Amino acid sequence: MKFPTSYKAPKNLLSTKNSKTIKGEKLGYTTYIMYLAPHTQNSKGKNLCSHASVGCAKACLFNSGAARFNQVQLGKMNKTEYFLADKKGFMLQLFNELTRIEKLHKAIVGDEQIGRTGKVVRYKKFAVRLNGTSDIPFENIKIVDNKNIFELFPNVQFYDYTKNNKRFDNKILSTNYHLTFSRSETNDKVSLDILNRGYNVAYVFGVKKEQDLPTHYNGFTVINGDESDLRFLDEENVIVGLKYKLMTGKGTSGMNKDNVNNNDFLIDVSKQLATV
């Protein structure tokens, strides 16, 4: 597959309009998520998901057999090329964007800001997820004053999923950055280890409906992680149960179906529950 090599710095790196952020709004949060192209889907072949498995990459990538990329995919690739070509400029833009966002939310009196149309424009409370579809250890990137993005915004709640267990050793986790480990078909043992350390782990179950998620798995309570994406609000030391979602967009509906057939990244509840 040929990826675009050029990029244009986009107006915004973070977005607030998708199914995940809408669920957060129901809980009174505006969620800002950054979506890059996952894994090695970039012109440089650089892996932005260092601990991805074959199964998760297959379930996640754009390799749907489509002849062309759609606008959403192109947007992710554009940001990724920008990040890879000019990390300093990219991170400074992110810093400026978050400075503006923090100011906007600080100025809100009450729980929300209503726009001219009578609809909520933004909520007082907000959260930021930088790895919407990547697994970059942003804690290692210093931006200004030898500080990373989490240190530069100590009053902002950040959260992410990761497959990189080493990131759980970083002290930043005890402050304003919440991480949920992400189970794949190759890290079952590590997932259990992380659970035994008291953290949360997301498991993707091959179920058709959220209601079919198990209530317990491997001795741990399973919560429905699809109710919202605000992982920092979850109770502690649980499995965050997720249902794999087939694409539903116009022109892309069901396009990722083949990516998950016979893919051990998804847990087959009917097979596995007997062993619990």
Binding site for ligand SF4 (CB under 6 A): 38-39, 49, 52, 56-57, 60, 133-135, 163
DSSP 110: S
Q: Which is nearer to ligand SF4, 38 or 241 (CB)?
A: 38
Q: Which is nearer to ligand SF4, 57 or 128 (CB)?
A: 57
Q: Which is nearer to ligand SF4, 153 or 161 (CB)?
A: 161
CB of 181 to ligand SF4, least distance (A): 11
Q: Are 134 and 36 in contact (CB under 8 A)?
A: yes
The C-alpha torsion from 221 through 246 and 262 to 184, rounded to 10°, is: -40
CB of 88 to ligand SF4, least distance (A): 24
Q: Are 177 and 237 in contact (CB under 8 A)?
A: no
CB of 187 to ligand SF4, least distance (A): 11
Q: Which is nearer to ligand SF4, 69 or 123 (CB)?
A: 69
Compute the distance between CA of residue 84 and CA of residue 82 in angstroms, rounded to an integer.
6
Compute the distance between CA of residue 199 and CA of residue 234 in angstroms, rounded to an integer.
11
CB of 165 to ligand SF4, least distance (A): 13
Q: Are 37 and 77 in contact (CB under 8 A)?
A: yes
CA neighbor of 141 nearest in space, from 102, 163, 103, 172 = 172
Tokens at 3, concatenated: 């990826």
CB of 94 to ligand SF4, least distance (A): 18
Compute the distance between CA of residue 59 and CA of residue 62 in angstroms, rounded to an integer.
9
Q: Which is nearer to ligand SF4, 61 or 156 (CB)?
A: 61
